[in-house]
Structure formats: structure tokens, C-alpha cells
Amino acid sequence: MNTNKLSLGIVGGGPKSWIGHVHRISARFDDKYEIVAGVFSRNAKLSINFGKTLGISKDRCYSTFKEMALKESKRNDGIQVVSIMTPPSSHQIIAEKFIEKNINIISDKPFAGNLDQAKKLYKKIKSNKKIKYALTHNYSAYPMVREAKVLIEKDKIGKIEYVNVEYIQDWSGGTKINVRNAKKKLKWKIDNKIVGASAVLNEIGTHAYHLATYISGLKAEKIFADIKQISKKIKMDDNAQVMINFTNGAKGMFWTSVMAKGGVYGLRIRVFGSKGSLEWVQNDPNYLKLNPDKGAVRYLERGFHNAELSKKFSRIKFGHPEGYLDAFANIYREFADSLKNKSKKRYFYPNEDEGLETAKFINACKVSSKNKRWVKIK
């Protein structure tokens, strides 16, 4: 076995989970992790059966995360990192258990199920200097998103004046969704006890808000939100629109929906500064549009001369498209590097600070939408 690999345990992501699949491919991508333990089901037998297909030995297939944290922490070859990919409301309690055992964490988003959980988790992470924490806001790991972040840091578009971000999807599956098939199809995503504060905001909106702050370097100061159910029949909030006042005086608009009919699946961000603007869309992720206030629109391409930073986060040459998995794997790759490398190198993966920020935003949205007034983020 490659002794350079980090040993990785997994909580969640069983056979039917697509995000589980994504995490595991990402972990394998750069050969920096060996998946050696996991909790794939509360049923011990099912957990073992699935673990087996991943090449995990029977005794390291657990049925509870507590058991896994306890037993792995006692092994000499115990896991160094745990990846958590369970529903949102369980993120905090699971993560805390591993933090107590000094095990590093990669957690799927959102940071936590609600603001209260988020604050507790944040405190817990900060209390343990031995571990590191990465949050898979994976869109921020696209090379051209990071290029955008750094172009803004370098003042290429001047002082930010406006941010427009949207993440819209269509969960209706091309059918008139109804209570029965929604429950079957969307599962815990329509149960607030599991999905947390807000279905659309915790599942999708959190990515969009994170992306806006990640690229712009700004935070929301005050927001005005309108969360609403657009589709009929299934009780869930499926649409949210938010006006944002950012800390530097910039304005912004945010829209997220899971009922934008037409098979639409769009994450798009535009940042306007005093000297130009930037645009990035996930459906064309290898390009970044830069509009200087004077002069031609530029299409910066991943890996090409015009986008030097992006090369660090790419694996293949310009002209050959990279996609969602390549970006997701960037978080795993960088996290491994940060665990091995003790230098003060800059890392770009999202962490607990960003996680707490998204939880504050979602909470403020709920308050604002209910009270129909501008709400301060705190």
C-alpha cells in the first residue's frame, strides 16, 4: 500500500446516495486517500455489505458513527480523516464526536442544520487546534472560480459595487410532482427536521451565498428575504429571493429555486466592480468572462496563458474540459496537502469560518421573510 495515503473513514453515502459516490470518486482522484472505514447504514449487515464493495475490511464497517469514532481512534492505523455526508441536521453532532477524537473532517454542506447547531460546531472546531476542517462548497473549487477570486483581490475590477448570484434547479422531474412521489423522490429533503432550517436554502442556496462571498471577498451585512413555496401540493419552501447589502456598501441580489421548471440547473454569478465585471456559470465552467469598463470582453480559459492561477487547480491542459468531479476533488487534494504540509501556504478550500457565515445568512433570511423587513446579519 502507498504509505503516503491518508486513511479515510466515511459516514453516510450509502449505495443509493449520489453525493456518496461523488465523495468517493473525489477521494480516489489523486491517490491521496485510502478509504478504510465507514458507516454506510444503521443496519450492521447492510453497512458491511456495502463496505465490502469498496474493499473495506468487515471489522471497519460500522453501524453508528459513535462506534466508528471510538474504535478508529483506538487503532494504531485508525482513520486520519473522516468524510461526513449525512443529511444536514446531523452534521454537527457527528462532526463533534470525531473532533473529540482528533480526527480531521471533510464535511458536506451545509455546515449545520441551523444557526444554533452551527455556532456549537464552530466553537468545537475552534477549540481543537490539532484538527483541520474542510466544507465541500465544491463550486468554489472550480479553477476559474478561484481565478475570479484572485483577480478581484488584485483589484482587476476595482471596488465591488454589485453581486448577482443565482442557483436554480428543477426538482419536479418533468412531472407534475405530487405529495406521494415527492416523499419518495425527495425523501428527507422535504422534512425540515432533517434538512434543517430551509429546504431550498440549506440544500442549494447555501452554495450560492458561499460562492458570492468567496469570489467577492465580501459578507452580507443586511438582507431582505422572501422565501416562498411556488409549486403546489408538497409542503416545502422551494424558492427564495434575497436582496443583500454587503459590508463594503455594495448591493446584491440572490435567487435560488428548486422549482424553476424546464430541466434548468443553473449556478451563475456576476460581480460588478468600479472598473469592470466578472461572470461565471457552472454550465461552462472552464471559462470566466471578464468585462473591463473599457475594452473588449475577455474569455479567460482554464489552464491557458491568461489564467495562471487556474493551472494550480487543474489536472489537464487547456482546451480539454474539466467538470464537477475535477473541482470536487480539488478540495480533497488540497485538504490532504494541508494536512501533510506544515508551511504557511495559502489554501483555498472552504472552512468553518465560511460555514458559520452561511448559517447566519440562512437564519437571517428566515427572520426577514417572516417579518417582511431588512435584517442585520450577526
Q: CB of 60 within 8 A of CB of 37?
A: yes
Assess 18 for contact with its own copies (CB under 8 A): yes
Give the rounded distance of the alpha carbon of 5 from its chain centre. Answer: 24
Closest approach, Cβ 174 to its own copies, in A, equals 3
CA–CA dist 32, 333 (Å, integer): 7
Which of these segments, 91-99, 102-110, 112-120, 321-329, binds its own copies (CB under 8 A)? Answer: 321-329
**Which residue, 28 or 71, is less far from its own copies as judged by CB?**
28
- C-beta of 126: minimal distance to its own copies in Å? 32
Shortest approach of its own copies to residue 47 CB, angstroms?
A: 17
Q: In b/e form, how buried is each residue of 197-227, taking b as 16+ CB within 10 angstroms?
A: bbbbbbbbbbbbbbbbbbbbebbbbbbbbeb
Q: Which of 171, 224, 163, 157 is nearest to 200 (CA)?
A: 171
Instruction: Tell me which residues in 91-120 interact with its own copies (CB under 8 A).
Output: none
| Distance in Å, CB of 213 to its own copies, minimum | 18
Distance CA 218, CA 302 (A): 24
| Residue 302 Cβ vs its own copies, minimum distance, rounded to whole Å | 10
- How far apart CA 79 and CA 71 sit, in angstroms, is 10
Residue numbers 201-230 binding its own copies by CB under 8 A: 224, 226, 228, 230
Number of residues that bind its own copies (CB under 8 A): 91
Q: Is 241 in the site for its own copies (CB under 8 A)?
A: yes
Secondary structure class of 16 (helix, strand, coil): coil
Q: What is the DSSP letter of 76?
A: T
Identity of the residue, 78 or 273, whose beta carbon is nearer to its own copies in the bound complex: 273
CB 193, CB 123: distance < 8 Å: no
Check binding of 231 to its own copies (CB under 8 A): yes
54 binds its own copies (CB under 8 A): yes
Which residues, 138 to 167, sit near its own copies by CB under 8 A?
157-158, 161-162, 164
Inter-CA distances, 99 with 11, 125, 273, 274, Å:
14, 7, 40, 43
Minimum distance from CB of 193 to its own copies (Å)?
A: 25
Q: Is 16 in the site for its own copies (CB under 8 A)?
A: no
Q: How far is the CB of 121 from its own copies (least distance, A)?
A: 27
Nearer of residues 99 and 290 to its own copies, judged by Cβ: 290
